[in-house]
Chain A
Amino acid sequence: MAAILNSLLAALPRKSYLRLLPGLAPVELVFGEILYEPDQPIEHVYFPTQSLVSLLTLVEGHLALEVGLVGWEGMVGFPLALGVDTSPVRALVQGGGPALRMGAARFRAELRRSPPLQRELHRYVATMMAQISQTAGCNRFHVVEPRLARWLLMTRDRVRSGEFRMTHEFLSHMLGVRRVGVTEAASALQQRKLIEYTRGAIKILDHRGLEKAACPCYESVKDMHRAASL
C-alpha cells in the first residue's frame, strides 16, 4: 500500500483508515480556490496531501487576517467534527496540489461510527485552537518581520518544501498588514540572506537563520503539534 500522505489519516488505526478510504476522492486543489465561505454550509472536508489551505477572517467583506493554516497535518472543515456545519472563516487554497476529499454527509456518518477518527480530529482541533490563540497574541505583540518569518516557516512545514509561490498582496492579507509592510519585511529577510523572493516565488535559503528571526510563537505552536501527536 502506498504511504499515507496526510498525517491525520496516517495516525488512524489501519482498520479505521481502510474503512474511510473508499469515501476519499483524490482531488487537485487550485491556487486561489475557495473551499468554503463564512457562514455557508461546509460541503466537503479536505485532507491536504501536498497542498496548503489558509483559513482567513473577513472584516466587512474584505480579507483581513489569516488565523490558521492547514496542510498535510490536518483537515479543512473541522467544524463538522464539532457538530457544526458552518465556519466563521473563509478556506482558501494557498498552495495548489493534491488533497483527499469527502462529502459532508458521508464524513458525518463515518465520524459517528469511528471513535479513533473522533479522537484524532479532537486533538487536531485542539492544535488549531492553539494556532488561533497564538495568532491573536502574536498579532498583538510582534512586528511584521518576525511574524513573516514565522509564517514562512509554518508554510514550509505544511508543504514540506522550502519553495513556494506567494504574492505580496496575499501575504498582506495573511499577516493583516499593508503591502508596503510586507515588502519591507521581505527585503529585510532577503538582505540577511535568509530567503530569496523574486516575482512571487519564495525560497527559504537558511531555515535555521529564519527560525532565529521568527517570533517565539513559531516554537510554541510546533511544541503544541508535537505534544498532540504523542
Chain B
Amino acid sequence: MSARRTPKQNRLLAALPGPELLRLLPHLERVLLPLGAVIYESGGAQAHAYFPASGIISLLYVMKDGAAAEIAVVGNEGMVGIAVFMGGGTTPSRAVVQSAGSAWRLEPALLKAEFARGGALQRQLLRYTQALITQMTQTAVCNRHHLLEQQLCRWLLLSLDRLPSNELVMTQQLIANMLGVRREGVTEAAGRLQADGLIDYSRGRISVLNRAGLEKRACECYAVVRNESDRLLQSQIALVA
C-alpha cells in the first residue's frame, strides 16, 4: 500500500494501536468524495461511517422548511456517522462534500461492533464527539453574535486547516449557503478581505494570502474550536503512545 493511500491519512484511524487498525483494515473501503456529493441525508437509512483522508465534509442542520445552515466541518481529523455508535434517532442533518477528496468508509454494523469492544477506537470516537460538540456550540454562538466578516474568516480558517494548500475551490453562493446568509453579504465581506490583501478571490477560487491577518479578523470562535480539537486529539495520541 502506498503511503498516500492508507487509512492512516485519517488521524482518528492513525492513532489506533496496530492490532485494532489491523482488525478494521480489511473492512475499510476507500471512496472518492466528489464536490457536492450528499453522503448522509436527514431521515435516510443508517449510512456508512466515513473517515476522511482528504477534503472536507460539511454538516448542515436542516430546518423543517428546508433551509439549512452549516453546524460543523469535518476533515481528516474526524469522522462522519456519530449516530452509528451513539444510537438514538436520526439527527436532522445533512452531510455534504464541501471540498473534494477521499475517505475510508466502514459498514455501520462493523463500526458498532468495534465500538462495543470498548477499546481505543471507542475512546477516540467519544473524544472526537466532544470536539465536534464544541465546534457546534461555537457555531451556534458565532451565528448569533459575530459579524458576517468574522464568521467568514472563521469559516475560511477552519476549512484551510483541513486542506493541504492555501487554496479553496468555492463559489460565493456555496459559502452563503453554508453560513446561512445572503450571497450579497458574502460578496461584500470577501471584497473587504480582498481589498485588504488577505485573500485573493477569482472565478470560484479563494487563495489565502495572509493567514495571520485572517486570524486577526476572525472572532475568537476559531481559536476556541482549534484549541479544543488539538487538545482532545493530542491526548488521544498520548493515550496510544
Contacts and interface: CB of A to CB of B under 8 A. Distances in A.
A123 B132 CA distance: 16
B141 A137 contact: no
Given A59-B220, A82-B126, A216-B65, A139 B144 contact: yes
Contacts, number: 143
A81 B61 CA distance: 24
- Report the contact-size class of chain A (Cβ under 8 Å from the partner): 35 or more
B138 A57 contact: yes
B63 interface: yes
B61 A57 contact: no
Nearest to A227: B89
Interface string A170-187: 000000100000000000
Given A89-B137, A136-B71, A227 B145 contact: no
Main SS class of interface, A? helix
Interface stretch (A125-133, A158-166, A192-200): A125-133
Contacts of B134: 88
B138 A88 contact: yes
Interface in B117-169: 123, 126-127, 129-130, 132-134, 136-141, 143-145
Contacts of B145: 59, 64-65, 176
A216 B87 CA distance: 23
B136 A133 contact: yes
A141 B130 CA distance: 25
Interface residues of B, number: 45
A221 to B, nearest CB: 9
A227 B83 CA distance: 12
B63 A137 contact: yes
B63 A127 contact: no
A181 B143 CA distance: 17
B4 interface: no
B87 A119 contact: yes
B220 to A, nearest CB: 7
A83 B91 contact: no
Contacts of B129: 82, 125, 129
Interface of A: 57, 59-60, 64-65, 67, 79, 81-84, 88-89, 119, 122-130, 132-141, 176, 216-217, 219-220, 223-224, 226-228, 230
13 contacts: A64-B145, A125-B129, A126-B89, A128-B133, A129-B86, A129-B129, A129-B132, A129-B133, A132-B71, A132-B133, A133-B61, A137-B62, A138-B63
